[in-house]
Structure 1
Amino acid sequence: MATDTLTCASLLLTLLNKRYEVDTVFGIPGVHTVELYRGLEASGVRHVTPRHEQGAGFMADGYARATGRPGVCLIITGPGMTNIATAMGQALADSVPMLVISSVNRRDTLGRGQGRLHELPSQQQLLAGVSRFSHTLLDPAALPEVLARAFAVFRSERPGPVHIEIPIDLFDAPAAPPRSWQAPALYRPAPDPQGLALAAQWLHQAERPLVLLGGGCADAPEAARVLVERLDAPTVTTINAKGLLGRSHPLDLGANAALPAVRELAHGADVILAVGTELGETDYDVVFDDGFVLTGQLIRIDLDAQQLVRNQPLALGLVGDAGHSLALLLDHFPHPLAKDGAERTASTLATLGLVEDPAFAPFVPLYEVLQEALPDAILVGDSTAPVYAGNHLVSQPAPRRYFNASTGYGTLGYGLPAALGAQLARPDLPVVALVGDGGVMFTLSELATAVEERLPVVILLWHNAGYEEIRRYMDAHGVERIGVDIQAPDFLTLARGFGCLATHVDSPGALAQALASRPLDGPFLIEVDAHAWQRAIG
């Protein structure tokens, strides 16, 4: 073999690190991926071992949401891929960049049904449904191009998971290095100038404008803030856009589009500007009654042309990157307009009365304690009661500081591993995992990863003895409670068995004391007795 020739496996690792600046990968080694691990230690890439491939996917997701950079996974053939499929589904629904590299059986055996180890009829076809694209590499020479396609999706299109599978007989096959290790310069599209001018004209003429900002705007907080101030427009910031305008901005309606007062405001808006948002159910219709109705002229800006025509009737659609679009639109508004935006926002929020709402009130002191103790924390949530309330209550100082699995795909088990991924990505910030006693059981084994990696994540476990949200839903629909009053383990004993510090609290004061003594060299599980908590706050 020529001295300037690499193996396919070593070329992959070198491209990831040298060309695309990947510094961390998540994976569980297996017999089919051993060759991927040859030289990994010397490659400059950190390897983190979760305890389940679903945990690997959720960690990559949390890493990506906290930074905007793709999370990368190395996954075994067959069961490893079916295990990670749920995490890919969540990332696909929320447009999270994730690169999943897997092995697959030898080229000469693919699709033959011979009962080979880890064999699927078509692994590529199975994963295509939870990815932007899934590709089977059949020639090592094509690897640089296929990786370039993946990163083009991450950097220039609507992001999401990409799956690349490599047959096991190709890992040690010779592969020539590329002529250059420099990554191609890729830019996201800008909207059509004529369409942008028309959008600006409508917004100038509007009497009751409304702005809807989604997670696609996360990397453009300054442009977003200045534009809504120039428009003087009440602004919905979705769950994945929390913090975009800063904490408690006077034009920020929060992620409350499903609540009656915001719906009334939206229904009465004559021009609506929606940027980087799907206008999807889990942000605008969590009560599932199709009650979020826009009657004004809807202007949408999105990277995905098809997304422009989904969910609400469109008047004007512009394909473009949210950051570019917001900045270019600003040029049309050199001076602030006067549209009574702050007054309309304040009136709407007063009508909502979030902190007095019985559904949210028990969680107000919880988030007050968290903000006082850890004001800069990234809050990462599962589908659990504190998160459902936090979606409405929480205001963050910056974007990428609040995300959870109640959006999009809505899986359970996300919170703990995603928080670990966020902590690995942002060691400079505290990270809190908001989990419930039901959902955490899906991925509780990832406590071992947290201990092994010495990650100082606070795991706030809301213990309400079962699947509370489903209990409520059954009760509301006259269905007998079955399968929701589940038996929980002794979480403190389990956590300590993993080597994780753990404690039990039953009041806001006890939570504040626990947070004040949190360790900085490993995880800390705080179990909150939900029933005692509610008694303590009256």
Structure 2
Amino acid sequence: MPLTDCWRANPMRPLATFLCELLEANDVEFVFGIPGVHTVELYRGLGGTRLRHVTPRHEQGAGFMADGYARVSGRPGVCFVITGPGLGNIATAVGQAYADSVPMLVISTVNAVGEIGSGRGHLHELPHQRQLLAQLTAFSRTILAPTDLRPALAEAFSVFAAGRPRPVHIEIPIDLLTVDTEDLGPARRFVLPGQPAPSPDAIMRAAALCRSAVKPLIITGGGATRAAASVQRLAEALDAPVLMTANGRGIMPPHHPLGVSLAAGSVGAVSLMTSSDLILALGTELGPTDFEAVLDGPGAPSAPVIRVDIDPLQIQRGLAPAVAILADAGLATDALAAQIARGARDGAKRAAETRDNAMAGNDARQVRTLGMMEAVRDIVPHALLVGDSTQPVYAGLQGFAAASPNSFFSSATGFGTLGYGLPAAIGAALAAPARRVFGIVGDGGLQFSLGELGSATELGMPLTLIVWNNRGYGEIKSFMQRANIEPLGVDILTPQFSALAHAYGWSYRLVRSPQAFADALEQPPAVPLMIEIEQDAFLSSVDGA
């Protein structure tokens, strides 16, 4: 009998079981995945642990659920996917997580040792499967022996804990899943590094710049969301406006006089940046998705820039730093605040002027669409808003002031995917079962992931899905029209969403006015609720039509 057959016949603790025990020992709660013939041994291992399994309707949905879960919980979202097509299906979701620095662990199988890349046409075979995710992850690793598993997972959790928390992919040959691992000892929690602390010298140089600044500006990104209290203390000591990027919204609460929730490329934000004599960038990559209008050319800010980032490569990209602080944003901000005496500048006035000018420059449709998102925030305490690439979310990126960090996020920046809103909202709801979660999608984007309506019903979660219906790919259609391109391919069939909602066991409300929308928000739903907004009627009703 071949040795591998002996392992299958009498395993004491198969590698698949050891993997699940390691995940459990390191506080993983959920695993998102669709069982397949190449992953069934992983499911044998799941049965003996406290890990909860969530079955999406597509592997892309698994990745988006893991993404939403990770953003809200701060823990890595973990996925099990099959060889070949499973890995291909999840790639888009991994790309979104990579662009937004979201911790995600994708564990896939791969063909047996000796069959990998053979070209003979084994089931799900790819020539170089690992390379499919290598460019979308912090690293992609193939386990070639049982002893490789523990260190590979420890490395992944170290990236999540103390590095830029991007996705990691680990693939396991199917013939290794049943190998006995009793000799590897019990599954234990990994000893992980702490967050990197700032250099005292860098803090002293940054503090000197802060003390001499008359019009300082703080810019916060997604890397600073868990340091909100520290950022507020520093901002108040400096009396500096805080411009929050798309992923940094909510670091300053909505009505804080120093908070500025605007698109970084907007006229108001650019003016704020160019009129400042110091820019302190905390946990933001200062990338072109947010800052393209000010990165290069004569309009770029001339003020010195203090960069605080956990990524030594990113800290040199975008605006060049006068002081580079390689550290966790919270530790760096606390250290810097300790060196700054509270001073009176005109920060609140500058922030208010920027907000007022931005609102005056918005067109009526944008203001009205933004009002829909503000209604959710104001009517529903502690609401989580999870957005797809859709018109209300684009309006939100221009000026939505989130109630708290990570209470509003979307796929409309970075990788810019569609189909994200519904499954990511499911992941967010799993991470925060006591909060009301709202997915915000367009009628076109929802059709990318319709099947996940069934996942929400199956999980018994009272999720609310807001469907902005403009009967097609409305944002792209508008873009084509502005570019003098005859709209083509954007007017698609819109299904009867009421019938789909009822088919999946959801309740349903159709609203055509802001008041009807506000009424629909008042009572928490007992079952998943779909609120369909007819765009044209909703916007015209605000005009009194």
Which digits, 9 at most, give the CA deviation of each residue in 1:376-422, with x for residues without a partner?
A: 10100000000011123322232111100011000000000000000
The answer to whether 1:512 aligns with 2:518 is yes
Which residue among 247, 263, 266 is the counterpart of 1:240?
Answer: 247
* One-letter code aligned to 1:101: I
Find the partner of 1:490 among 477, 496, 499: 496
> What is the CA–CA distance in structure 1 between the aligned matches of 2:409 and 2:91, rounded to whole Å?
20
Give the AA of the match of 1:536: S
In the TM superposition, what is the alpha-carbon distance from 1:5 to its structure 2 partner? Answer: 5.1
- The answer on 1:526 being equivalent to 2:522 is no
How is 1:183-222 mapped onto 2 (pairs within 5 angstroms)?
183-222=190-229
CA distance in 2, matches of 1:414, 1:295: 38
1:458 matched to which residue of 2? 464
**Residue matched to 1:225:** 232
What are the Cα deviations for residues 57-79 of structure 1, in whole angstroms up to 9, with x where unaligned?
00000000011110000001100
Matches within 5 A, 1:117-132: 117-132=123-138
Instruction: Indicate which of 133, 140, 148 corresponds to 1:142.
Output: 148
Instruction: Look up the match of 1:281.
Output: 288
* Aligned residue in 2 for 1:332: 339
Secondary structure at the counterpart of residue 444 of structure 1 = coil
1:46 to 45, 52, 66: 52
Structure 1: state its 5+ residue gaps.
none
Aligned match for 1:477, one of 461, 465, 483: 483
- Residue 88 of structure 1 pairs with residue 94 of structure 2: yes
Give the distance between the partners of 2:408 and 2:474, measured in 1 at CA.
22
Residues 69/486 of structure 1: CA separation in 2 closer, same or farther (3 Å cut): same
Deviation sequence 1:62-120 (CA, Å, 0-9, x none) = 00001111000000110000000000000000000000000100011011111111111
Contact 2:369 2:539 in 1 (8 A): no
- Aligned pair partner of 1:305 in 302, 306, 312: 312
Query: 2: CA distance between counterparts of 1:404 and 1:223?
Result: 24
2:493 and 2:99 mapped to 1: Cα distance?
Answer: 31
Q: CA deviation at 1:254?
A: 1.1
**3-state DSSP class of the match of 1:462?**
strand
C-alpha change, 1:355 and 1:477, in structure 2 (3 Å) is closer
Alignment partners' CA distance in 1, 2:370 and 2:219: 25
2:423 corresponds to 1:417 = yes
**Secondary structure of 2:268's aligned partner:** helix
Please, what TM-score do these two structures have when normalized by structure 1?
Answer: 0.96
Q: Deviations over 1:7-29 (max 9, x none)?
A: 100000000002x1101110000
For 2:308, give the aligned amino acid. I
What secondary structure, in the 3-state scheme, does the structure 2 residue paired with 1:360 have?
A: helix
* Corresponding residue number in structure 1 for 2:256: 249
Equivalent residue, structure 1, for 2:4: none
TM-fit CA distance, 1:517:
4.1
Q: 1:537 to 1:288 in 2, by over 3 A?
A: farther
Q: Which residue of 1 aligns with 2:84?
A: 78
Q: Which deviates the most, 191-200 or 80-89?
A: 191-200
> 1:183 deviation in Å?
2.2
Native 8 Å contact 1:67 1:400 kept in 2: no
- Structure 1 residue 511: Cα displacement: 1.2
Residue 211 of structure 1 contacts residue 236 of structure 1 at CA under 8 Å; is this kept in 2? yes
Q: Per-residue deviation at 1:289?
A: 9.5
The 1:354–1:425 alpha-carbon spacing in structure 2 relative to 1, beyond 3 Å, is farther
Compute the displacement of 1:292 (Å).
Answer: 6.5
Indicate if the aligned counterparts of 1:75 and 1:103 stay in contact, CA closer than 8 A: yes
Matched, 1:318 2:332: no
Matched AA of 2:386: V
Q: Tell me, what secondary structure is at the counterpart of 1:38?
A: helix
8 Å CA contact 2:157, 2:192 repeated in 1: no
Residue 243 of structure 1 and its aligned partner are, at CA, apart by 1.1
Could you tell me how far apart the structure 2 residues matched to 1:322 and 1:369 are?
31
Asked if the contact 1:203/1:271 (under 8 Å) is kept, the reply is yes
Who is 1:11 aligned against? 18
TM-score of the aligned structures, taking structure 2 as reference length:
0.95
SS state at 1:459 partner: strand
Aligned position for 1:536: 541
CA distance in 2, matches of 1:219, 1:365: 27
**8 A contact 2:11–2:178 mirrored in 1:** no
Match for residue 265 of structure 2?
258
Distance 1:443 1:4 in 2: 39
**Retained in 2: the 8 A contact 1:355–1:393?**
no
- 1:409-449 C-alpha deviation (Å, 9 max, x unpaired): 00000000000000011001110001001111101110000
1:269, distance to aligned residue in structure 2 (A): 1.3
The alpha carbon displacement at 1:358 in A equals 2.4
Q: Whole-Å Cα distance in 1 between the matches of residues 295 and 363 of structure 2?
A: 19
- For 2:74 and 2:342, the matched residues in 1 are separated by 31
User: 1: CA distance between counterparts of 2:500 and 2:289?
Assistant: 33
Shift of 1:472: 1.4
RMSD over aligned CA atoms reads: 1.9
Cα displacement (A) at 1:182? 3.1
CA distance in 2, matches of 1:496, 1:464: 21
The Cα shift of 1:142 comes to 1.7
- Counterpart contact for 1:210–1:235, Cα < 8 Å: yes
| 8 A Cα contact 1:518 1:524, kept in partner | no
Q: What does residue 403 of structure 2 align with?
A: 397
CA distance in 2, matches of 1:62, 1:267: 35
C-alpha separation in 1, matches of 2:503 and 2:470: 22
The 10-residue stretch of structure 1 (97-106 or 483-492) with the greater mean CA deviation from structure 2: 483-492
Match for 1:537: what amino acid?
Answer: V
- Report the CA distance between 1:260 and its aligned residue: 0.9
Matches within 5 A, 1:354-433: 357-433=363-439
Counterpart residue identity of residue 502, structure 2: R
Identity of paired residues, percent? 46
Structure 2 unaligned residues grouped into runs of 5+: 1-6
* Structure 2 counterpart of 1:229, one-letter code: E
- The change in CA–CA distance for 1:261 and 1:247 in structure 2 (over 3 A counts) is closer
Amino acid at match of 1:282: T
Give the partner amino acid of 1:524: L
On the 8 A contact 1:354/1:360 being kept in 2, the answer is no
How far 1:372 sits from its partner (Å)?
Answer: 3.4
Instruction: Letter of the 1:461 partner, please give it.
Output: V
Q: Which amino acid aligns with 1:410?
A: G
> Which amino acid letter does the alignment assign opposite residue 535 of structure 2?
A
Q: Could you tell me whether the CA contact under 8 Å between 1:5 and 1:177 is conserved in 2? A: no
Alpha-carbon distance in 2 for matches of 1:182, 1:56:
25
- Equivalenced residues, count: 535
